[in-house]
Structure 1
Amino acid sequence: MFENVDVDVPAGGLLVAHGPGGSGRTALLLALCARMRLTTGVVQVGRDRAVGRGARRIQARTAIARADAAVEPEGRLTVAELIAEHRWSDRAVTTRAVAGAAWLLGLPLRGRTPAEDLDPLETLLLATALALACAPAVLAVDNVGRGCTRPQRERAWQALRTVTDTGCTVLATATEPPPTDPGADTVLLALPHRSAALLSPIGSQAQS
């Protein structure tokens, strides 16, 4: 989990929360989208706070492209099947909207290709296109650059900046910050490693 986070992201900006595994990146992303309750603190999107009806309004305005172990395209499905599944789960999404989002991201849609055969960058861009097709105010993308080469990571960040150019706010996490100039509207948030050394294992005191 995460703690002591204080961040303000402008509308149409890019948040990059970066840190090692176990630093709470995914939990933070879900909390910012009102998908996870906080024990303390508050999340606010516009005038809505993540409490009661405000939480439901935030959920309606946000879309999660990927969140490790929570939201991920099913690898056994083809690209066309994933699009059909997304249209079924959200009636506001159309094939044309998905195609437009993919074009914006520079992703060719190969309908018969199984998702598991896509490379890491294509997988990320497909998940982003599917989420972007519902025209959210806020788009969340977890673990940007996972499995990617450095050029692919650069391409992924460029694609997300293209999304912010449309006015959509992007919330992203990664193990490292973008490898290139983040831009004026980018907010970098370093999450500290929650070291196991701070947790005394059972019996350690008896051995010391």
Structure 2
Amino acid sequence: MDGVEIAARGLSVRGARGPVFENVDVQVPPGGLLVVHGTARSGRTSLLLALSGRMRLNAGTVRIGPYTVPSQARKAAALVTVARAEPAVALEERLRVGELMSERCWTSRAVTRQGIRDAASAVGLELDERLLVEELTALDQTRLALALALAGRPAALVIDDVDAGCTDEQRRQAWQAVALAHEQGCTVLAGALQEPPPQGEPVELVSLPQLSAHRLPPAVTTDAHRLPPVVTAEPRKAIAE
């Protein structure tokens, strides 16, 4: 599969309680890897959904391949598969693995059960179709989400909560699974509570504060002085060996 470039300028999203994030600039080359990390309610998941063309913007634009959001949002979003971004996209814990596989094949004609098995093997998951999702470890739930998404050979893939619920060792292996997914050639946008472990080559990161206002120096009061962070992700960088 071939990755797709994702570029954003001046992204801002506001909710009922104020800004979720403001003035974010991001550029991810085709086949690149971007990691967004931050605490709960930092805007991490919202930013990932915005970069996938699935979040209503208050300001700014996103370009996914040749398509621009918001004017071509549907075509842009079609290039990106969201593996997990809770609560919008999540694995149903009371379904069996085999049921999720059937559901994925039903919702996408490009996906086959063998394709899912191959993708699971690529990210280090031994599939047991009889298990309930809730019986899987946090690590294997991440691997399963990646496999179900990769089976459709997307141009870009979003996976949030990479390290949620993981022990230190599981966290390391979860990032290995992300790296293995990335090696398949698609552009990967990943989200986590913490930075990836310092193994292998460094990855460019977007670090979100708990509140977007934390980006601004205390003395700054005018929009003219709000300088957006610019983050560029290098293509095909490994996170872990």
The TM-score normalised by the length of structure 2 is 0.77
Counterpart of 2:81 in 1: which secondary structure?
Answer: strand
Aligned twin of 1:171: 189
Counterpart of 1:158 in 2: which secondary structure?
Answer: helix
* Counterpart code for 1:123: Q
* Counterpart code for 2:41: G
Q: Is 1:132 aligned to 2:150, yes or no?
A: yes
Deviations 1:110-167 (A, max 9, x none): 0101111000000111011101111101000011110001111111111111222221
Gaps of 5+ in 1: 198-208
Aligned twin of 1:102: 120
How far has the Cα of 1:195 moved from its partner? Answer: 8.0
Aligned twin of 1:42: 61
Aligned twin of 2:205: 188
Q: Is 1:122 aligned to 2:154, yes or no?
A: no
Counterpart of 1:80 in 2: which secondary structure?
Answer: helix
How far has the Cα of 1:196 moved from its partner? Answer: 10
Cα 1:17–1:47 change in 2 (3 A) is same
Structure-2 separation of matches of 1:180 and 1:100: 29
Deviations 1:82-108 (A, max 9, x none): 100111111211001101100100100
* Counterpart code for 2:138: P
How far has the Cα of 1:51 moved from its partner? Answer: 2.7
* Counterpart code for 1:72: A
Counterpart of 1:71 in 2: which secondary structure?
Answer: coil
Gaps of 5+ in 2: 1-19, 215-241
1:124-163 mapped onto 2 (5 Å cutoff): 124-163=142-181
* Counterpart code for 1:105: V
CA RMSD, 1 decimal: 1.7
Aligned twin of 1:62: 80
Structure-2 separation of matches of 1:17 and 1:72: 18
- Larger relative helix fraction: 1
Counterpart of 1:6 in 2: which secondary structure?
Answer: strand
Counterpart of 2:191 in 1: which secondary structure?
Answer: strand
The TM-score normalised by the length of structure 1 is 0.89
Counterpart of 1:56 in 2: which secondary structure?
Answer: helix
Structure-2 separation of matches of 1:182 and 1:174: 18
How far has the Cα of 1:4 moved from its partner? Answer: 2.2
Structure-2 separation of matches of 1:24 and 1:189: 11
Structure-1 separation of matches of 2:86 and 2:204: 22
Query: Contact conserved, 1:9 with 1:187, CA < 8 A, in 2?
Result: no
Aligned twin of 1:111: 129
Structure-1 separation of matches of 2:112 and 2:210: 41
The number of residue pairs the alignment matches comes to 195
Query: Contact conserved, 2:22 with 2:212, CA < 8 A, in 1?
Result: no
Overall identity of the aligned pairs, in %: 49
Aligned twin of 2:99: 81
Structure-1 separation of matches of 2:170 and 2:103: 27
